[in-house]
Structure 1
Amino acid sequence: MSELETVAELAKRRGFFFQTAESYGGVGGFFTYGPQGSALKRNVEDRWRDRFVTRAGNMEVSAPDVMPEPVFEASGHLDGFDDMIVECPECDASHRADHLVEDNSEYEDAEALGIERVADLLGELDIACPDCCTPLAGESVEEFNLMFGTDIGPGSSQPGYLRPETAQGIFTEFPRLKEYARGQLPFGVAQIGDAYRNEIAPRRGLIRVRAFTQAELEQFIDPAEDEPDIESVADVELPLYSATAQEGDGKQETYTVREAVEEGVIESEWIAYYLGLARDWYDAIGIDMDRFRYRQHKAGERAHYAADCWDAETELDGEWVEVTGFAYRSDYDLTNHAEATGDTFTVFKQYDEPKTVERPSVDPDMATLGPEFGGQAGAVADALDALAAAGPDAFDGETVAVEVDGESVEVDADVANFEVETVTEAGEHITPHVVEPSFGIGRLFYSVLVHSYETDEVDGEERTYLSLPAELAPTFACVVPLVSNEPAIVEQAERAREQLREAGLAVAYDESGAIGRRYRRQDEIGTPVCVTVDHETIEKEPTSVTVRDRDTTAQARIPVEELQECLLALRAGTDFADLLERDTVTPL
């Protein structure tokens, strides 16, 4: 089996994830997280929240999964959130055209080639339908919008969509959120929630699905003044695969954050800052840094809103998979929502001292414009106002030319009533720019599982275990009575279980089968330690139990009165070998 197939089999058998509604035949692109998976996923989310919300001093919101159609008109998703689809003329199956090209060629990012070139490649590469083997040469490649549509309310209801990203739930609320930030830039707003994309061809387990969890941070900044704390991450080493390297025979190279900024490999200091901050976070949650890189988007593959974008990618089964996108969204979203709603998506930036400025303005004579231009008079007045701000020299002549509905019209200069006023300003309204790290929790979850999957040999038998970081493990400890038919041992084991749970530890209890098999079951779900209650526990003083380390299988006897303290230290990151240095701990 492939690496992903092996992990998928373990995940289903041990309760990490499995296809939704299998009794009904399942639905492509939808997965249910089981008991172990839900706990692991929640722990990944908690670690993200700790790093990017709590310790970063950012706000967190929770917006609805459904939003009205005008939101996505303004955001550009109705027109620009598309993938390439080709339909088989024989079996009517739909396929992602660029993925077919990638699967049958050396192209790593066929989406960047454009629809026409991808359509040509279907023929040049003799690509056939994966389902029925019918050649796809000459078949039309079309754009397919990925959003799930729905209706809001009964009857003549309002059209809406399941959100394809959580970000719009933050942008639409900016006029209120800026008040919570007291109008002071920079500030960040985060959200962890589900998003939905009607993928053409879901595949490869949790890698391409139709319902998934995102953890997104929108960092609102003044691009003219706000700078990130680059020094705090300056020496973090980044494995970078730039757009320039991808175009030629270049390769991935390692730069420190400082070097990447100084040499212009990463243009935005904010993007560089978050790449550095996130790199250490990935390492902490168990991503194998030998199977990790940052890849810059080429111009043809950037999202419609992104001025620059880098992906964090992990290697899974020999292929690179995006787990996070770091995008510089400029003022695209806030400007579009302001134009669509008329609301104020700006912040007031106060000057250190008031400034005296000259401000050109017009006061059109509507009594003249009305009869001359009729229904267009208002548009002509607006065009004059815009021209006064953008090109005041245009009013130097006897007439002024403006464009209305694609046509040029002339207005007498004296009708425009142009003048330049001298005003004193205390500040100005600016539209913030946005830097967005967007994390795919499901893909990170999958990467952690795959990268932590290990096999070794114990007592002549092959052993499978997940080397999950202690803080991430779904179950931190399992209490096992050596035998289940002696009440004193069982009672002591149950007491230990309850005491550890009271301390806030996720603790399982297992008294079924041979002790070795119980250890193996816990190893396979990544439980860091097993606590064994045996005859020595109830027969000797001081009372002690055996604690076994998952990764090394090393064991030690620990006094019961110190058990809680020792396990809390292990969960906080203390190495098991360091625990053995305690005077009261006896290695076995």
Structure 2
Amino acid sequence: MKEVSSGEMLSLCKRRGFIYPAYEIYGGIAGLYDYGPLGTALKGNIADLWRRTYVLQEGFVEIDGDTIGPEAVFKASGHVDNFADLSVTCKACGESFRADHLAKGLHPNPDSLSIEELQGLLRANGVRCPCGGEFADVEEFNLMFKTKIGPGAGRTGYLRPETAQSIFVNYINLYRHCRERLPFGCIQVGRGYRNEISPRQGVIRLREFNMMEAELFVDPEDKSWPRYGGIKDRKVRLVPNTDGVEVEMGIGEAVDRGIIGNETLAYFIWVTYDFLTAVGIDPARLRFRQHLKAEMAHYASDCWDAEALISFGWTEIVGIADRGCWDLSQHMRFSKADLTAFKRFDEPKEVERDAIRPKFGAIGPRFKGAAGDIKRQMEAMDASAIHDGLVTVIVDGTPVDLDADHYDVVRVREKVNGVRVVPHVIEPSHGLDRILYSCLEHAYAERDG
């Protein structure tokens, strides 16, 4: 069978009404594409099957969040400070390129290199711009689209780079809706925006793209899954980060050998495989690659990419990660909201904990009539409520930070029915555009004559 090139595929997609270059009569813009009649129908069918998988089969709920958010949300998530790619700009023509893309073929994993390492690699190999010009120094480029919310000075806002944050900031509402029990899951299908440096791979790298993300909130001490036993003997192709060698292995064996971190993560790797093959991904051109230690987010305990082999090579189309308690802990720290879950014991237990004891001599004179309510708030807290030496209480509807002059931390022993925990998050994140394009390539064939 003849292999199709990405250029031929995109040309066919345009002629058949699947994908059109956006704003083509004005010259088009790299990284922006529109879906034609058939592409829109196919995209809707893929999203509908994904919804049925997660809502009907797995019991998740669905929300639809805003695509624009205030800076505080993305400061908490780390996107304001850390959501950047490394860029180089040609001194002659002014064209910019992703530095790690220029290093492909020069290093087995350019994504894992620091600014200094990447710059040294490019210069040592004499990498230049296609125009022949010399590149300036490698620098960070934040990928979020920045805007103002409201007229005048307004509030700084950003177009969301992922749908997940809408789910995290709605955790309290979702926890109540799901009867205050773990585990529970929430999905969202929607647009994300990333101001890519040099989107030159068709619909694989877009500045506005479609995502299907699931966030599963689980007990940090229990990452088993009730339906895991039914799939543990199913086999998938894995590329562990220990040696990078592809191997076909049973899901259960991978968990038992410590290759996949836990049962829940393993179960959703299988759910991802089942979904992708159902929508048209060729199983012979599908594998799951574990992130190298150097490329894994510092808060993630394990992360796997579902990769499809297409004309661009092995390409990530889904990421499945155990994100730990990072997301909720960050939003707790920045918003001062309680984003915990109550874990009830089968029988009451006697436990020790570090409790907060209010200092009435400091609180009474300062807050007078509100002192009693502040006392009750602080007595309900434990040491986990302290951030940067401050405890936050609500006074007349306004958050107020109290320093160590207003409280002591004491060790107490008490009988309790349960404890509050910060749930961990298992996240399967699907790139809808990449899945659709991969399905089209895997379905493509030419007849002789």
Q: Shorter-chain TM-score category?
A: 0.7 to 0.9
Larger radius of gyration: 1
Partner of residue 548, structure 1 = none
**Contact 1:326/1:438 (8 A) holds in 2:** yes
**Contact 1:41/1:445 (8 A) holds in 2:** yes
Please point out which of 414, 420, 432 is paired with 1:429.
420
Deviates more, 1:439-448 or 1:114-123: 114-123
Please point out which of 10, 13, 17 is paired with 2:12.
10
Q: 1:216 is aligned with what amino acid?
A: E
Partner of residue 187, structure 1 = 184
Structure 1 stretches of 4+ with a deviation exceeding 6 A read: 415-418
CA RMSD of aligned residues (A): 2.7
Partner of residue 483, structure 1 = none
State how far apart, in whole Å, the 1-side matches of 2:95 and 2:298 are.
Answer: 28
Please point out which of 338, 348, 355 is paired with 2:349.
355
Judged with a 3 Å threshold, the aligned counterparts in structure 2 of structure 1 residues 2 and 223 are, in CA distance, closer, same or farther, namely same
State how far apart, in whole Å, the 2-side matches of 1:5 and 1:243 are.
Answer: 32
State how far apart, in whole Å, the 1-side matches of 2:416 and 2:359 are.
Answer: 27
The alpha carbon displacement at 1:238 in A equals 1.2
Percent identity of paired positions between Structure 1 and Structure 2: 41
State how far apart, in whole Å, the 2-side matches of 1:165 and 1:238 are.
Answer: 28
Judged with a 3 Å threshold, the aligned counterparts in structure 2 of structure 1 residues 304 and 442 are, in CA distance, closer, same or farther, namely farther
Judged with a 3 Å threshold, the aligned counterparts in structure 2 of structure 1 residues 335 and 360 are, in CA distance, closer, same or farther, namely closer
Equivalent runs, 1:261-340 vs 2, <5 Å:
261-303=255-297, 305-317=299-311, 319-340=313-334
SS in 2 for 1:155: coil
**Contact 1:237/1:255 (8 A) holds in 2:** yes
State how far apart, in whole Å, the 1-side matches of 2:103 and 2:44 are.
Answer: 36
The alpha carbon displacement at 1:197 in A equals 0.4
State how far apart, in whole Å, the 2-side matches of 1:68 and 1:153 are.
Answer: 11
Equivalent runs, 1:225-236 vs 2, <5 Å:
225-228=222-225, 229-236=227-234
Q: 1:236 is aligned with what amino acid?
A: R
2:133 counterpart of 1:134: yes
State how far apart, in whole Å, the 1-side matches of 2:361 and 2:243 are.
Answer: 62
**Contact 1:80/1:304 (8 A) holds in 2:** no
Partner of residue 171, structure 1 = 168
**Contact 2:260/2:302 (8 A) holds in 1:** no
Judged with a 3 Å threshold, the aligned counterparts in structure 2 of structure 1 residues 59 and 266 are, in CA distance, closer, same or farther, namely same
Partner of residue 84, structure 1 = 86
**Contact 2:300/2:322 (8 A) holds in 1:** yes
Judged with a 3 Å threshold, the aligned counterparts in structure 2 of structure 1 residues 367 and 191 are, in CA distance, closer, same or farther, namely same
2:335 counterpart of 1:341: yes
**Contact 1:238/1:293 (8 A) holds in 2:** yes
Deviations 1:539-567 (A, max 9, x none): xxxxxxxxxxxxxxxxxxxxxxxxxxxxx
SS in 2 for 1:301: coil
State how far apart, in whole Å, the 2-side matches of 1:236 and 1:226 are.
Answer: 19
Equivalent runs, 1:141-180 vs 2, <5 Å:
141-180=138-177
Judged with a 3 Å threshold, the aligned counterparts in structure 2 of structure 1 residues 429 and 416 are, in CA distance, closer, same or farther, namely closer
Deviations 1:556-580 (A, max 9, x none): xxxxxxxxxxxxxxxxxxxxxxxxx
**Contact 2:355/2:409 (8 A) holds in 1:** yes
Q: Paired residues, what number? A: 419
SS in 2 for 1:117: helix
State how far apart, in whole Å, the 2-side matches of 1:240 and 1:357 are.
Answer: 42
State how far apart, in whole Å, the 2-side matches of 1:288 and 1:88 are.
Answer: 40
Deviations 1:428-464 (A, max 9, x none): 111110000000000000000000001124xxxx3xx
2:200 counterpart of 1:203: yes
2:58 counterpart of 1:67: no
Equivalent runs, 1:448-459 vs 2, <5 Å:
448-457=439-448
Q: 1:341 is aligned with what amino acid?
A: S
Deviations 1:204-237 (A, max 9, x none): 1111110110001001000213411221211221
The alpha carbon displacement at 1:77 in A equals 0.7
State how far apart, in whole Å, the 2-side matches of 1:424 and 1:186 are.
Answer: 25
Equivalent runs, 1:476-555 vs 2, <5 Å:
none
The alpha carbon displacement at 1:359 in A equals 4.3
**Contact 1:233/1:277 (8 A) holds in 2:** no
State how far apart, in whole Å, the 1-side matches of 2:294 and 2:257 are.
Answer: 24
Deviates more, 1:280-289 or 1:207-216: 280-289
SS in 2 for 1:45: helix
Judged with a 3 Å threshold, the aligned counterparts in structure 2 of structure 1 residues 350 and 14 are, in CA distance, closer, same or farther, namely same
State how far apart, in whole Å, the 1-side matches of 2:362 and 2:10 are.
Answer: 74
2:207 counterpart of 1:216: no
Partner of residue 532, structure 1 = none
Partner of residue 490, structure 1 = none
State how far apart, in whole Å, the 1-side matches of 2:410 and 2:297 are.
Answer: 42
Q: Which has the higher contact order (CA 8 A, sep 6+)?
A: 2
**Contact 1:362/1:417 (8 A) holds in 2:** yes
Q: 2:127 is aligned with what amino acid?
A: I
State how far apart, in whole Å, the 1-side matches of 2:241 and 2:354 are.
Answer: 44
TM-score for both structures, normalised by structure 2 = 0.87
**Contact 2:220/2:422 (8 A) holds in 1:** no
State how far apart, in whole Å, the 2-side matches of 1:426 and 1:362 are.
Answer: 19
State how far apart, in whole Å, the 1-side matches of 2:73 and 2:35 are.
Answer: 31
Partner of residue 395, structure 2 = none
State how far apart, in whole Å, the 2-side matches of 1:239 and 1:324 are.
Answer: 15
SS in 1 for 2:7: helix
Deviations 1:139-191 (A, max 9, x none): 31111111011111112211110000000010000011100001011010000
Judged with a 3 Å threshold, the aligned counterparts in structure 2 of structure 1 residues 281 and 26 are, in CA distance, closer, same or farther, namely same
Judged with a 3 Å threshold, the aligned counterparts in structure 2 of structure 1 residues 417 and 202 are, in CA distance, closer, same or farther, namely closer
TM-score for both structures, normalised by structure 1 = 0.67
**Contact 1:305/1:333 (8 A) holds in 2:** no
State how far apart, in whole Å, the 2-side matches of 1:312 and 1:438 are.
Answer: 10
2:432 counterpart of 1:438: no
SS in 2 for 1:455: coil
SS in 2 for 1:78: helix
